[in-house]
């Protein structure tokens, strides 16, 4: 029972890490997109 709890906890932690990484890369993607728009506006 204890091992099962530990396995579930580890799985949850891994899912959380993947979610955090996904959010981080999503923000990075938006930043790059915004940056490209800004530079295309500034440089004719």
Q: Where are the domains of the chain?
A: 1-43
The predicted-structure confidence for 3-41, as pLDDT tens digits, reads as follows: 777 777 778 878 888 788 888 999 999 999 999 999 999
Residue 1 pLDDT exceeds 70? no
Instruction: Tell me if the pTM is above 0.75.
Output: no
CA pair distance 5, 13, nearest whole angstrom: 12
- Report whether pLDDT(2) > 80: no
Three-state DSSP class for residue 8: helix
CA–CA distance, 28 with 23 (Å, rounded to integer): 9
Q: Which backbone phi and psi does 43 adopt, to 5 degrees?
A: -100, 110
**Which carries the bigger pLDDT value, residue 41 or residue 1?**
41
């Amino acid at each position: 029972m204890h091992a099962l709890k530990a396995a579930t906890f580890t799985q949850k932690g891994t899912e959380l890490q993947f979610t955090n990484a996904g959010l981080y890369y999503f923000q990075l993607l938006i930043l790059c997109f915004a940056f490209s728009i800004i530079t295309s506006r500034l440089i004719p």
